[in-house]
Structure 1
Amino acid sequence: MIPDAQCYDVIVVGGSFAGMTAALQLARARRKVLIIDAGLNRNRMVRRSYGFLGQDGSSPDDFINNARQQLLKYPNLVWLDNVIALKAEKQDDGFIIATNEDKSYQAQRLVLAIGIIDKLPDIAGIDELWGKYLFHCPYCDGYELNEEDIAVIGTGHESIGKALMLPDWGKVTLFSNKVVHPDPSELKHLQARGVSINDELIEQIYVEHNRLAIRTTDQQIHRFKGGFLLPKTQLASPLAQQLGCEIGESAIGPFIITDESKQTTVKGVFACGDAARTTASISWAVGDGASAGIGAHQSLIFKDIFD
């Protein structure tokens, strides 16, 4: 039997942009809300975030901290910081979440804002530069490269699409890295966009004189203002699979399938943010979070529609 103090209307798993936005809608609907946050938001290594109206160029840490302080003004919201939701279980009267602190919490609805993990290629130096000199979203970070030289690190066939986009932001070199093999039609499109192709393997990536330096196995060093890659991804938590939510598979990794209200294929479980879509940005995360929070709230009222 779970004590009443550990029972909520909705539990939100994940305290980044999508999770906080979902929680805000629910708190303002005067529902009892619990946020369980592991503190591992995807862009935690980024210094500045761009492309979100009203916060263009702000620090993501400042953005998150300010939003959190606003949320904590609601007395019906509880935040568990640096806590991992290990297990989710569906029961007749709702859901149970067990954490790494050997505690369990119950709710009528769940919102999974669990995020994803980027699986970077095995290249020396890449981890240290991710989010600083290497990015995944040109709409978020392309403008600051000032139309200078840009590298695209090949991770698979999808890198061709990334390389075709990026000439709007600078002069592009696509490093195939032996995993990108454009067909004749794709080569024609790349050439038409002015994209250079380097077929040597990348040996190391580092920073030299505030420039991104890429050393290939022929010992040539290529320098750029910055670079982009499209890493493979994985869900940051197994909760969706534990609950039996249907999982889709995109070209870069799995995602939780939802309807327009952000409800998953398991009734009463909603999902939002990077874990529930194939494209990612703060703007989309916030929009998804609002939809999930409102959807979860309305499902508590209009049960015959959502069930």
Structure 2
Amino acid sequence: MTDRLSDGCDVVVVGGGAAGLSGALTLARARRKVVVLDAGRPRNAPASGVHGLLGLDGTDPAELLDRGRAEVRRYGGQVVSGEVEAVVRDGDRFVVELAGGATASARRLLVATGLVDELPDIPGLRERWGRDVLHCPYCHGWEVRDRAIGVLATGPMSVHQALLLRQWSDDVAFFSRALPLADEQAEQLTARGVRVVDREVAALEIVDDRLTGVRLGDGTVVGREVVAVSPRLVARAGFLAGLGLRPAPHPMGEHITADRAGRTDVPGVWVAGNVADLAAQVGAAAAAGAAAAAQINADLVTEETQRAVRALREPFSARTEARVSELVLGERRHGW
């Protein structure tokens, strides 16, 4: 997927997922010189399909990205493999530094690097992530309908997650992991028929590459076919520290704050997708990328118009000054 990296771009897009590619596509179609830098670690890589995306429901995540890269390239955009390590400002441009020493510079920066799912340290959880361990009912609920689902408590959103998954299955168990439940929460779970297991979780039981249950601290195994967990969501944005742009606390983790158009507090830097909106699904991330790209293009048009107006005025000013000088010199010569 690697193009040769060219310098002097209008926009560098960091991140080649749905948000980044959608933004790059919009910019390339606007005849902007755009380069996408992609580290090649899509968050949804373990999933069997992208769901809830109109017209593309069930598409393999890798296939969706392949299509997106081809579309960006069709309009002259570049997609380059590379891990971004830092970004610094150099005058009116941004210099993006990649692992290995390569650099790219641009007038604007669109960050669409997504997030990292920080999971509880429970044996078997990470290995099954995106397969029979899930987090989003709207992404995977249909695929696990009517199965035995276990929800591992990780924080205040876990009860809500269990109540949501009850929509897809009558057999939902909530593993509170000794975290205290408010009386109202316990009542809600009971009313919806969600069984509460108030004991420590030791590991997931895996048999023949298949999740079969949740093993408790006392050795008891509660049979489950699917486990849901709410990870802590942390924006991939450490490389922005040189610009003074750092992740801010969020109830679900950490994100980069921006306005509704994706504009950050650092002039010239936009964000889109999960790096800013931790709960965004693929469709929402792609839409955010396109919206941010339109704003970036408009910002560039404004800058270019201002420059053109100055250029129009400067020759006129120079001619006027020359004519005045000529008249003054004439007065001196002829004694007018």
Q: What TM-score do the two structures reach when normalised by structure 1? A: 0.92
State the shift of 1:296 in Å.
1.2
Counterparts of 2:248 and 2:261 in 1: how far apart (Å)?
A: 17
Corresponding residue number in structure 2 for 1:276 = 276
Counterparts of 1:247 and 1:302 in 2: how far apart (Å)?
A: 29
Contact 1:126 1:206 in 2 (8 A): no
Counterparts of 1:199 and 1:132 in 2: how far apart (Å)?
A: 25
Corresponding residue number in structure 2 for 1:186 = 185
CA 1:242–1:212: 2 relative to 1, 3 Å: farther
User: Superposed, which structure 2 residues align to 1:170-209 within 5 Å?
Assistant: 170=169, 171-178=171-178, 180-208=179-207
Corresponding residue number in structure 2 for 1:218 = 218
> Which residues of structure 2 form unaligned runs of 5+?
305-336
State the shift of 1:203 in Å.
1.3
Corresponding residue number in structure 2 for 1:71 = 72
SS state at 2:263 partner: coil
Higher strand share: 1
State the shift of 1:261 in Å.
1.4
Q: What residue identity is the alignment partner of 2:301?
A: I
Which string of whole-angstrom CA distances, capped at 9 and with x for unpartnered residues, describes residues 199-241 of structure 1? 1211111333644421111212122231211101222231333
CA 1:5–1:57: 2 relative to 1, 3 Å: closer
Are residues 1:113 and 2:76 paired? no
Contact 2:152 2:227 in 1 (8 A): yes
> Which residues of structure 1 form unaligned runs of 5+?
none
Corresponding residue number in structure 1 for 2:128 = 129
Counterparts of 1:242 and 1:135 in 2: how far apart (Å)?
A: 35
State the shift of 1:242 in Å.
2.8
Could you say which structure has the larger radius of gyration?
2
Q: What residue identity is the alignment partner of 2:99?
A: N
Counterparts of 2:224 and 2:56 in 1: how far apart (Å)?
A: 27
SS state at 1:129 partner: coil
Are residues 1:230 and 2:251 paired? no
Which string of whole-angstrom CA distances, capped at 9 and with x for unpartnered residues, describes residues 166-206 of structure 1? 1111121111123x321111111221222111112111113
Deviates more, 1:243-252 or 1:113-122: 243-252
Which string of whole-angstrom CA distances, capped at 9 and with x for unpartnered residues, describes residues 46-84 of structure 1? 122211111111211111112212222222x12111x11
Counterparts of 1:86 and 1:246 in 2: how far apart (Å)?
A: 14
Corresponding residue number in structure 2 for 1:51 = 52
Contact 1:86 1:239 in 2 (8 A): yes
User: Superposed, which structure 2 residues align to 1:145-156 within 5 Å?
Assistant: 145-156=144-155
Tell me how many residue pairs correspond in the alignment: 299
SS state at 2:270 partner: strand
Corresponding residue number in structure 2 for 1:292 = 292
CA 1:10–1:49: 2 relative to 1, 3 Å: same
Corresponding residue number in structure 1 for 2:310 = none
Q: What residue identity is the alignment partner of 1:145?
A: V
Corresponding residue number in structure 2 for 1:157 = 156
Contact 1:135 1:228 in 2 (8 A): yes
Q: CA RMSD in A?
A: 1.9
Contact 1:246 1:265 in 2 (8 A): no
Contact 1:47 1:60 in 2 (8 A): yes
Percentage identity across paired residues of the two chains: 31
State the shift of 1:246 in Å.
5.8
Corresponding residue number in structure 2 for 1:267 = 267
SS state at 1:258 partner: coil
